[in-house]
Amino acid sequence: MRAPLSWIREFVPALDAPVAEIADALNQLGLEVEEIDAPGAEITGVVVARILDVVAHPDADKIRLADVEFGDGQLRVVCGAPNIEPGMVVPFARVGAQLPGGFEITKRKIRGVVSEGMLCSARELGLGDDHSGILSLPSASVLGTDVREVLGLDDVIFDLSITPNRPDAMGIVGVARELAAHFSLPLEVPTPEPEPIVSAIGTVTVQVEAPDRCPRFVGRVTTVAMGESPDWMQRRLIAAGMRPISNVVDVTNYVLLERCRPLHAFDLARLAGRGIVVRLASDGECMTTLDGVERTLSQNDLLICDAERAPQAIAGIMGGRDSEVDVTTTEVLIESAYFEPSGIARSSKRLGLRSEASARFERGIDPNATASGADYAIALLAQVASGTATPGAIDVYPEAIVRPRITVRTARVNAVLGTALAAAQVRDLLEPLGIEAEAAPDADGVFVARAPTWRPDLEREIDLVEEVARRYGLDHIERRVARPPAGMVGALTAAQRERRLLADVLVGAGANEALTMPLISPADLERAGLPAQAPVTITNPLRAEESVLRPSLRPGLLSALARNASHGQVDVALFELGTVFFAPVPGDTLPDEHQHVTLLIGGTRRLAPRRADRPVDVGDALDALWAVVEALGVADVRLAADIVGGFHPTRAARVLVDGEPIGVVGELARDVLDAYGVAGPVVGLELDADAIERAARGDRIARPVSTYPAATFDLAVVVGDSVPAGDVERTLRDAVGELAESVRLFDVFRGGQLDDDQVSLAFAVRLRAPDRTLTDADVSEARSRAIAAVERAHDAALRA
């Protein structure tokens, strides 16, 4: 937003602080100054002059010679503008003058006549696009005066970045209010006398059929004489970044910029039935807006229609072509309304149509300034368009909007800010912003505040604490180290400690932690082999590729593996500990959120020297699972054979904790890897971290580390293809007993001389005794027990 300093000073006449100090104040108040513009800085040597005489050029038909006086002399210039005449007061650029764009005026001979300078148009002074003639200055202007003073080009313009929560600062008055409070100066905002409320103005009526979307609508009627707006208004509009159009349109834009009050002017003669109906659109209904584009509307769009219900404007966004004012307009209906902000924001975004009005409506303007905004526009139209208003105002306002009361505790303000303000100081900081404050009865240092309706962002006590901080000045608040209350020591919760331990275990297993986007596309679910279910979808996604909240961490990690593979990094292990989302539980409206952990390992395992590298296999994922189980001390963990979507049909298993499924471990299916363009094998582990947190824990028993050597033996058994390798491993571990230090599956073989329904599982069993070196007899006995147990429990056969 562009805020000319002269316009601000109109409402704070006593504001005489230097420009730099004002800029610092705006920054402190949260109205960030992005740039300070001085439009006249490029203009030098241009003064006010009067044309004494105009004569024909002796050697040209379309250019003439003008004699001008400028206070301390007379000169002759050559000019081609058709509107110059004796007595006209004009901007005169003397030889050596500088104009915008770095253009320097020099003495020039034009068709044999020397020109001692140049008469300037509005465009040559940077005041707009008009180059049709020389700019006419007020006849009372003092000759020889710097033209920047006469045209206001010596003004300073602050280019402000206004945050979305401050719609009040999107008007000159709002900026002036902030500066008046900061410098402890009076704010002077003239307000017209309110007009009596009537149900109809002559035959003009207003009917609001959607009061929830249009809580207030004010209409005023006036005659107008169409034409250009005066120079002072045009200059202010241009300085604020808006193009002058006509006196009526310029008045609506002027009120918008000054009072943050969007208005619309309807040509009353073009409104069928001379009335207004505010209603919701029908699906597929169309209208053409002022920019000449036909818009297709939905039932969520709010329309301003004529009395015959034909659309004339998209409420709060843009007017329509059918009722726009033009040179033939003689009577207008001024609309000043308050629209529900979120509805304007949704329609503006869906239609891809933004305007100065919608930018303010969607943030929330002052509903209680609706009538005064219309009255101010009527007063301006009387001044610049010879307007004569019809008495009375239609004001449809069935339920007045009142801001809630907010309890403010001085002790809380000081606790949050680290200050030592008294209650009176807090009130003195808030009241200049229009915030009413009354002391609460029977409560020292507590008062009840009510924010003004032009500040929709002030809803809670903490919002007013922020206002105190803005007004007091962050630079005045000393830096302090936060101290907890006596006896209170900060610490991680048990859940936080377990989550960190879980991540540490996976990092220790050689994996890198990843953070992937929680928003994915529906196609990602199918590619990752996730079961068909109704995902949580985003109502209004920014991108179609990010329209679903992830029900699993798998798609994001697979995309990360694929990206790494495309850059030549195929040996990658990634894990993520994050939130997944499911449909809301009955009775709730928000998604059901869970913490999951997923590990994916791809490529080749780089083993120790003198051992051959090998592709990753299920054993690597199992190692990670048992490392997690051991670190967290989970008591009852088993594997159950099952077919899991996205995993290999015979190389994956459900992970059961306390008998309940909480995840899956195994090798990913080939079609899933092909869908992501990953060549090598990938194994994975997916666990519900919330379920692990609830799982029963076993007793942690500290055992001395054995100083005696380990003994190992390998065992390959043939079992039915449906027998889970985890069950065989558990049987081996139970058979060997306390001597078993580890039991690890290291090979799975199918084919060869085995039947189609058979599989060979090879385990490496490591034994170690705490008090002695194991003998060959000890190892042989343990091996025999293991073989017998597997044969008995799983109908297995020892593979030669």
DSSP code of 367? G
Q: What is the mean pLDDT of residues 504-518?
A: 94
What pLDDT score does 364 carry?
Answer: 95
Q: What 3-state DSSP class applies to 503? A: helix
Give the tens place of pLDDT for each residue, 609-642.
Answer: 666 778 898 888 988 998 999 899 998 888 887 8
What pLDDT score does 608 carry?
Answer: 62
For the chain, give the mean pLDDT. Answer: 91
What pLDDT score does 542 carry?
Answer: 79
Distance CA 251, CA 334 (A): 11
What pLDDT score does 241 carry?
Answer: 85
* Beta bridge partners of residue 649, listed in sequence order: none
Q: What is the mean pLDDT of residues 37-55?
A: 89
Which tokens go with 581? Answer: 């989302």
Give the tens place of pLDDT for each residue, 672-730.
Answer: 999 999 988 999 999 999 999 999 988 877 778 889 999 999 999 999 888 888 789 88
Residue 323's pLDDT band (cuts 50, 70, 90): very high
Phi–psi pair at 596, nearest 5 degrees: -120, 160
Give the tens place of pLDDT for each residue, 193-251.
Answer: 999 999 999 899 999 999 999 999 999 999 999 999 998 898 888 888 888 899 999 99
Query: 604-605 and 89-99 as β-strands: parallel, antiparallel, unpaired?
Result: unpaired
Distance CA 601, CA 241 (A): 57
Residue 422's pLDDT band (cuts 50, 70, 90): very high
Share of the chain above pLDDT 90, in %: 69
Q: Could you tell me the CA-to-CA distances from 184 to 17, 98, 173, 174, 326 in Å, in that order? A: 12, 40, 16, 15, 45
Burial of 800: CB neighbours in 10 Å, binned 0-12, 13-18, 19+: exposed
Give the tens place of pLDDT for each residue, 84-129.
Answer: 999 999 999 999 999 988 889 999 999 889 999 999 998 888 877 7
- The closest of 294, 300, 344, 347 to 321, measured between CA atoms, is 294
Distance CA 591, CA 582 (A): 6
pLDDT higher than threshold 80 for residue 488: no
What pLDDT score does 217 carry?
Answer: 97
DSSP code of 59? T
Q: What is the mean pLDDT of residues 653-664?
A: 92
Name every residue whose Cβ is closer than 8 Å to that of residue 666 and which is 6 or more positions away in sequence: 618, 621, 644, 647, 648, 651, 652, 653, 683, 684
* Beta bridge partners of residue 436, listed in sequence order: 450
What pLDDT score does 7 carry?
Answer: 95
Residue 140's pLDDT band (cuts 50, 70, 90): confident
Give the tens place of pLDDT for each residue, 432-480.
Answer: 999 999 888 878 889 999 999 999 999 999 999 999 999 998 888 888 7
Distance CA 528, CA 526 (A): 5
Give the tens place of pLDDT for each residue, 776-785.
Answer: 999 999 999 9
What pLDDT score does 476 carry?
Answer: 87
Query: 117-119 and 604-605 as β-strands: parallel, antiparallel, unpaired?
Result: unpaired
Q: How many CA atoms lie within 13 A of 530 on its CB side?
A: 21
Distance of CA 277 to the CA centre of its chain: 34
What pLDDT score does 481 carry?
Answer: 76
Q: Which of 148-152, 415-419, 599-603 has the lowest mean pLDDT?
A: 148-152
pTM: 0.66
pLDDT higher than threshold 70 for residue 10: yes
Q: What is the mean pLDDT of residues 325-346?
A: 96
Q: Which of 234-248, 482-496, 577-591, 597-611 has the lowest mean pLDDT?
A: 482-496
